[in-house]
Amino acid sequence: MVGETRISFVLSLKKPAMATAFDLRLPCPYLPLDFLFLLRHARGTRLSSAAKEQLMARTCVWNAIQVKVYQRVADPLAAPSQLHPPAARAGGESPKKRTPVESSLRGAVRNSVHLVFACWESVRLMSAFVVPGWPLRGGVAGSRRSRALYPHHGSAGLLRRRAFPRCTAGDVRGSYTVGRRLPSETPPPLPVPTDYVLISETAEWRRLVEHASEIDRLHLRELMQDVDRVRSLRAEYDGIYLDYSRQRVTKDTIELLFALARRARLVDKIRAMQSGAHINVTERRAVLHTALRAERNASLVVDGTDVVRDVWRVLDHVREFSERVRSGEHRGATGKPLRSVIAVGIGGSYLGPDFVHEAFRTDPEAFEAARGRHLHFLSNVDPVDIKRCTQDLSAEETLIVIVSKSFTTAETLLNARAMREWLWSEMGRSDEVVRLHMVACSSNVPMVEKFGIDPRNTFEFWDWVGGRYSVCSAVGALPLSIQYGFPTFLRFLEGARSVDANFYDVASPLAGNLPVIMGLLGVWNLSFLGYKSRALHPYAEALLKFPAHIQQVDMESNGKHVTLRGDDVDYAVGEIDFGEPGTNGQHSFFQLLHMGQTVPCDFIGFIESQYPLCIEGEPVSNADELMANFFAQPDALAYGKTAAECRAEGRPEWLIPHLVTTGNRPSLTLLLQRLDPYATGQLLALYEHRTAVQGFIWDINSFDQWGVELGKVLAKRVRKQLNESRYFGRPISEEFNASTRDLMERYLRGQVGCVFNEPFDYHRDTDTGRSPL
Ligand SMILES: O=P(O)(O)OC[C@H]1O[C@](O)(CO)[C@@H](O)[C@@H]1O
């Protein structure tokens, strides 16, 4: 064996024809081929057949060499190269038109280059495969382009890298890691048990169904009288006090839910997540947002890379850059310090940072740290959002942070280009303006570079961080550290880490695992009691954006209809989440919560206020007034009001039916000391993991979002049509249904309200390339 040498090599073949040339017979369409490729071409190696068999087992486990060969295919599930989408057309740049002859000539040349290259690399790798201590040098990439393709390799001091000239993203990629001893391999996702059945077909599930009809006979009014029960339905961890006695459960329910968790192999799934297994099976990715808040001295090797080391490399970069901006060392193009930040992003690239920003804003220490600074978020593609963001700002003093994991999201890129135009319109059209005023957080570094952002000002994150789970990555770290200082952001990470420890401590009784308890209660309420919605009420104005963030975390994660294996679920999964801070929510939709549909509620409150205001002569402080409502609402929902109680109040008989509230409406209460950056991190992790627990029990993939992709594809068709009709007078295609056609026609009759001074690519006819102007 080669001992301490490890080589990681990725070859992405753009065309199936190329695969044929290499005789790659893929065992299944999406495979990273691992050693199969080498072994098929390995003649005369010194490997024993037992060793070959082991390598053929697709586990890519061998401590000497790791090789992956990807084939790009049409099926999205089958396209690992999707992780690095082709560079063309993003950032508004459009490819040059080529004649067919030019294109096929180029294609042929490129194919031959790839073929020669791949053969050469096979020989090199084969040599390393059989010769101990083979002095391998090279791989990717001295050039900025190839460094961008494999940014995570950029950090290892021991790497030897070399550019692959003429390669573009999506063509051929390779990387070697030389001389690092890697302690462990990425574990494979959990094997599917041979006796696999839908969770709803298990005895544990059926027992809960029966139990639900027993619970239906009990009212929370009675349940709350059992002091023993009430005291047993609570848990506490690191300053978070969870009271779930107002859930429609008994101690038996909880035992039955634990039995269901055992049957669903919840503990194994949590461990698989923690270890970096590819539990996001449809995208073949690990789910490691918890690594984003791991301690600096921790280590977690996933797919051959120590992800914690990478996390801290980026955090150090964030610290250094944010300090330079805050101190005024990094200045704008006209020499002014950058006091304002506009973070441009949408969905997970916006909601998390916005929630945390709001939570920090009135924390006394964070407030001090942010004095004189402004943070804004530009999310909606509605141009009005641009107007609102920029109207009070001076471009000369503004830094734009483009946040997009994919760097292909249409809304974000259009907003990014709009921001670039805004900067240029104020300070002149120069690369320098972009270099000094625009930075990016993305996992698609080549596209960021293509946009014109200095690669040194690009803060990467990785495909194992889902967008909605990315607030602890550079996505949140950069804008929030610039605004509040890096130490404040670190305290937020520490809070999240604390709850991660609780969640991953599956060796301890699950009764003390807050995310597990909350997740199981969520499953109970939806799948067994049939409550389709869930409301989140933080009694803290600073958490005003928390419900919106959790809405995405939960609904994008668990809004699914098939199990991990692709079987239809025959049970309800994924609640509708909404919420508002108390007491505002009470004066908005609480009427329905009290008298209309039953919606399980989460109440979040704090012992200390961020702003403890006491007005002389008032019977209680302002915070006490808030908390009086916090304590009252859960009981109002649980107990309701009977006709007898109304009569006892002397209400007229005709009014009584309108006054009766049924009660028996479940809620849980979370009480924490005070809302500071640490507690903000705790709450984030608690709710992230609650969602994961539910997904684990339901056996769905909580970490992909294919539904959203469909909407994006359709919007692309409409965009093309609007362009063609608006600028070239083309009729609306018959491909659209009558309703959409009529709506679009009506819309197009209106004025766009824009005058373009010079034509640019976006307005070219999509077929002829002709400019309308
Ligand atoms: O960060 P990106 O790649 O721009 O994506 C933004 C958001 O779009 C989605 O893919 C779908 O809305 C979210 O999951 C993600 O948070």
Euclidean distance between CA atoms 688 and 702, whole angstroms: 10
Euclidean distance between CA atoms 559 and 553, whole angstroms: 10
CB of 74 closer than 8 Å to CB of 16: no
Ligand 1: which atom is nearest the Cα of residue 475?
Answer: 1
**pLDDT tens, residue by residue, 736-745:** 999 999 999 9
Euclidean distance between CA atoms 52 and 50, whole angstroms: 5
pLDDT of amino acid 125? 54
> Going by DSSP bridges, is the β-strand pair 398-403/438-442 parallel, antiparallel, or unpaired?
parallel
pLDDT of amino acid 127? 58
Last residue of a domain, one of 468, 494, 520: 494
pLDDT of amino acid 534? 97
Query: Are residues 525 and 642 located together in one domain of the fold?
Result: yes
Ligand 1: which atom is nearest the Cα of residue 349?
Answer: 1
**pLDDT tens, residue by residue, 180-199:** 333 445 666 777 777 789 99
Last residue of a domain, one of 132, 152, 171: 171
- pLDDT-wise least confident of 17-21, 426-430, 605-609: 17-21
Query: Are residues 442 and 563 located together in one domain of the fold?
Result: no
**pLDDT tens, residue by residue, 34-59:** 334 444 443 333 444 444 444 443 32
Domain for residue 20, yes or no? yes
Per-residue pLDDT at 92 exceeds 50: no
pLDDT of amino acid 730? 92
- CATH code of the domain covering residue 351: 3.40.50.10490
Nearest to 470 by CA among 459, 457, 482: 459
Beta bridge partners of 562: 568
Query: Are residues 531 and 659 located together in one domain of the fold?
Result: yes
Domain for residue 197, yes or no? no
Per-residue pLDDT at 497 exceeds 90: yes
Domain for residue 195, yes or no? no
Number of domains forming the structure of the chain: 4
Given ligand 1 and candidates 350, 355, 406, which is best to mutate, with the most ligand atoms within 8 Å of its CB?
Answer: 406
Contacts of 118 (CB under 8 A, 6+ apart): 11, 22, 172
Query: Are residues 450 and 595 located together in one domain of the fold?
Result: no
Per-residue pLDDT at 515 exceeds 90: yes
Domain for residue 182, yes or no? no
Q: How far is CA 353 from CA 78, 245, 336, 346, 682, in A?
A: 32, 33, 26, 10, 15
Domain for residue 143, yes or no? yes
pLDDT of amino acid 221? 97
Euclidean distance between CA atoms 635 and 629, whole angstroms: 10
Is residue 402 helix, strand or coil? strand
Q: Which domain holds residue 671?
A: 202-263+509-698
Per-residue pLDDT at 556 exceeds 80: yes
Vertex 386 angle, CA 382 and 387, to 5°? 110
Query: Are residues 465 and 594 located together in one domain of the fold?
Result: no
Query: Are residues 122 and 23 located together in one domain of the fold?
Result: yes
**How far apart are the CA of 492 and the centre of ligand 1, in A?**
23
The residues assigned a catalytic role are 556, 587, 712
Beta bridge partners of 68: 10
CB of 770 closer than 8 Å to CB of 100: no
Query: Are residues 16 and 155 located together in one domain of the fold?
Result: yes
Query: Are residues 475 and 590 located together in one domain of the fold?
Result: no
Mean pLDDT value across residues 325-338: 97
Euclidean distance between CA atoms 710 and 271, whole angstroms: 32
**pLDDT tens, residue by residue, 297-322:** 999 998 788 999 999 999 999 999 99
Per-residue pLDDT at 155 exceeds 90: no
Mean pLDDT value across residues 234-260: 98
Question: Would you say the pTM of this structure is higher than 0.90?
Answer: no
User: Is residue 419 classed exposed, middle or buried when 0-12, 13-18 and 19+ CB atoms within 10 A define those classes?
Assistant: buried
More confident position, 394 or 56: 394
Question: Whose alpha carbon is nearest atom 4 of ligand 1?
Answer: 404
Domain for residue 345, yes or no? yes
Domain for residue 486, yes or no? yes
Query: Are residues 748 and 660 located together in one domain of the fold?
Result: no
Where is 536: in which H helix or E strand? strand 533-538
Last residue of a domain, one of 663, 698, 733: 698
pLDDT of amino acid 630? 97
Query: Are residues 15 and 139 located together in one domain of the fold?
Result: yes
Beta bridge partners of 441: 403, 459
Query: Are residues 166 and 236 located together in one domain of the fold?
Result: no
- pLDDT-wise least confident of 193-202, 204-213, 321-330, 575-584: 193-202
Euclidean distance between CA atoms 509 and 565, whole angstroms: 29
Tell me the two tokens of residue 630: 């916090």
Tell me the two tokens of residue 13: 């073949």
Query: Are residues 399 and 254 located together in one domain of the fold?
Result: no
Question: Whose alpha carbon is nearest atom 11 of ligand 1?
Answer: 708
* Tally of CB atoms within 10 A around 611: 13
**How far apart are the CA of 349 and the centre of ligand 1, in A?**
7
**How far apart are the CA of 393 and the centre of ligand 1, in A?**
27
Q: What is the CA radius of gyration of the chain?
A: 29
Per-residue pLDDT at 568 exceeds 90: yes
Tell me the two tokens of residue 233: 């339905």
Domain for residue 185, yes or no? no
